[in-house]
Structure 1
Amino acid sequence: MDFANFLIQLLNSVQYGLLLFMLAAGLTLIFGIMGVVNLAHGSFYMIGAYLAWYFTSLLGSLTLAIVLGTLLAVAFGWLLEWLLFRHFYHRDHLDQVLLTFGLIYIFEEMRSIFWGDDVHAVQVPELLNWSIPLTDTLSYPVYRLVMSAVCIVLAIGLYLLISKTRLGMKIRAGAFNRDMTESLGVNIRLIHGVVFALGVGLAAIAGVIASPIASVYPGMGSSVLIMCFVVVVIGGIGSVRGALVAALLVGLVDTFGKVLVPQIAGMAVYMLMALVLLYKPEGLFKQ
């Protein structure tokens, strides 16, 4: 493998890892802070992608689609938490699994009713529809670099929100001891609504920005859900920093595995997870 090919695969692995982080960060927040096993998290990724296709077709602008899709997804997440999830915080995990598993079928059926079962393509914005030449025959799409940049900006924003703000302090306190935090006057229900809406918004943004390179198709949320859980388990449940490190590791292993050892590429990520859990049963980082 020459340097140009290595650089392309490295950029692809980082871009894939950052996209996984967008998904896994929301999942680990919901799971680690609220204690909810959300199997429907991949559906929010799918909803974001379909909103990107719908608004791009309607308005002709992916930028507007990102803004509108994100706002609608956050509002939908807040509504969903208020209507359903807040009633399951103290229920068994089996009840939560059954609820979220049922939501997968509901979202898929609603998707079929509103948008049909066809595969759709989202056009890359004309301003970003070009490539940076690396050699005479190889180049790298600018849109993929922009995707990585957007994910990095959002990752920094999420870190600052959780670590440097009063809201983040309340979120961390609620994750550490929910009852004590509530007894100190913190509206824990409001915090849970914010966390759930934030998690849904992050998953939807991932779907929106990935739609031009991954297409939009039925069942696309299920294909990323398992990988998201792998990232959460490797990074440590409830740890945003762990989700970032684990997502980048998974991106590297998956991308270079397919190039260097395609015979075992399908299980390389799970071998990584088994190796981490063998020495760090709680994941790389504790909450």
Structure 2
Amino acid sequence: MSLAANILEGIIYGASLGMLYVLVALGLTLIFGLMEVVNFAHGAFVTLGAYLGISFLDLTGNFWLSMVLAGVVVGVLGLAIERTLIRRLYGEEPIYQLLLTFGLALLLEGAVILTYGQDNQLLSAPALLQGSPVPVGPATVPQYRVFLILFTGVLVAGIWLAIQRTKLGLIVKAGIEDRERAQMIGVRLSRVNMLIMAVGAGLAAVSGFLSGPLLGVSPQLGTGLLIVSFVIVVIGGLGNIRGTIISGLMIGILFSLTSFFYPSLANPVIYVAMAVVLLVRPEGLFGGVGS
């Protein structure tokens, strides 16, 4: 394979991985931007979504329905957690929120291990996407990776448009930009908080399930994606939606290209990139809270 084909393939592979990162990081940045909560349980939502998706797949035999069901169930769980636990800690010291979400992460991951065991679970791409690779210029790309880019791209674009163009989205945007001012003009953020927590958890679950055919499904799946997603949120700017999307793609492509040419440096280069960004722009490439 030529150098050009390797580079193009690395970019496309990275874009597919980067869009999975974006789904996880987008939930993180929405939750932090609106609720000012750093959610360590987010990785557990990823893992839980992957395992629940496999269970639903065993029951229904339908990959797409299983993905939706996993997202809905974990989304409802996220809503319940915000309503019954996290809400009680608004206005408290951030350490209490960190301890709560970290404890929830341990609890949920422990429940997954008790239910499914420690062994990796196999999850194959749907039969519809297991055909011959798609030629893209000098490179060939598996159909599932092309699907990931297109599907997650549409999903992320839909969320972006909803935030920019709908009344509810404008409320979310106002809450992210200035929470106190939004409340002063009569915006009820309590219900919006529940919705955003549900959406964030649901996106994490969908990302976990879609990651299965690429990364395998294990109890550690969510932890790995969460760590990279935190890096993405920091690079893009805490609470910055546009920054999260762009930096997620950048990190995915950087990781993939480094894996192609210098595999041993693929993981360290992500953290080096974060360190460089923080040295040059401590608030992230795209600034702080905003969209």
- TM-score tier (shorter): over 0.9
Structure 1 residues 81 and 132 mapped into 2: Cα distance closer, same or farther (>3 Å)?
Answer: same
Residue 93 in structure 1 maps to residue 72 in structure 2? no
Distance across 2 between alignment mates of 1:201 and 1:161: 16
Deviations 1:195-230 (A, max 9, x none): 111111111110121112222112211111111110
Q: Within 5 Å, give how 1:133-172 maps onto structure 2.
A: 134=135, 139-172=140-173
Structure 1 residues 152 and 97 mapped into 2: Cα distance closer, same or farther (>3 Å)?
Answer: same
| RMSD, aligned CA | 1.7
Q: Within 5 Å, give how 1:65-80 maps onto structure 2.
A: 65-80=66-81
Distance across 2 between alignment mates of 1:69 and 1:194: 17
Query: What residue in structure 2 maps to residue 269 of structure 1?
Result: 270
Query: What residue in structure 2 maps to residue 107 of structure 1?
Result: 108
Question: Which piece of structure 1 moves more, 169-178 or 32-41?
Answer: 169-178
Structure 1 residues 66 and 265 mapped into 2: Cα distance closer, same or farther (>3 Å)?
Answer: closer
For 1:145, the aligned partner's letter is V
Q: Within 5 Å, give how 1:198-213 maps onto structure 2.
A: 198-213=199-214
Give the conservation status (yes or no) of the 8 Å contact 1:53–1:211: no
Give the conservation status (yes or no) of the 8 Å contact 1:74–1:200: yes
TM-score, length-normalised on structure 2? 0.93
Aligned-pair identity in percent equals 36
Distance across 2 between alignment mates of 1:177 and 1:270: 30
Q: Deviation at 1:73?
A: 1.6
Distance across 2 between alignment mates of 1:266 and 1:182: 42
Q: Deviation at 1:143?
A: 1.0
Distance across 2 between alignment mates of 1:262 and 1:69: 33
Unaligned runs of 5+ in 1: none
For 2:213, the aligned partner's letter is P
Give the conservation status (yes or no) of the 8 Å contact 2:30–2:196: yes
Query: What residue in structure 1 maps to residue 14 of structure 2?
Result: 13
Q: Deviation at 1:8?
A: 1.6
Distance across 2 between alignment mates of 1:236 and 1:138: 34
Q: Deviation at 1:33?
A: 1.5
Question: Which piece of structure 1 moves more, 255-264 or 152-161?
Answer: 255-264
Distance across 2 between alignment mates of 1:14 and 1:141: 13
Q: Within 5 Å, give how 1:1-287 maps onto structure 2.
A: 1-132=2-133, 134=135, 139-286=140-287, 287=290
Q: Deviation at 1:79?
A: 0.9
SS of 1:118's partner is: coil
SS of 1:38's partner is: coil
Q: Deviation at 1:157?
A: 0.6
Give the conservation status (yes or no) of the 8 Å contact 1:120–1:217: yes
Distance across 2 between alignment mates of 1:118 and 1:150: 29
Distance across 1 between alignment mates of 2:249 and 2:178: 30
SS of 1:131's partner is: coil
Unaligned runs of 5+ in 2: none
Distance across 2 between alignment mates of 1:266 and 1:127: 32
Deviations 1:120-171 (A, max 9, x none): 1123211111132549x97421011111111100110111111111111111
Give the conservation status (yes or no) of the 8 Å contact 2:236–2:244: yes
SS of 1:226's partner is: helix
Question: Which piece of structure 1 moves more, 271-280 or 52-61?
Answer: 271-280
The count of corresponding residues between Structure 1 and Structure 2 is 286
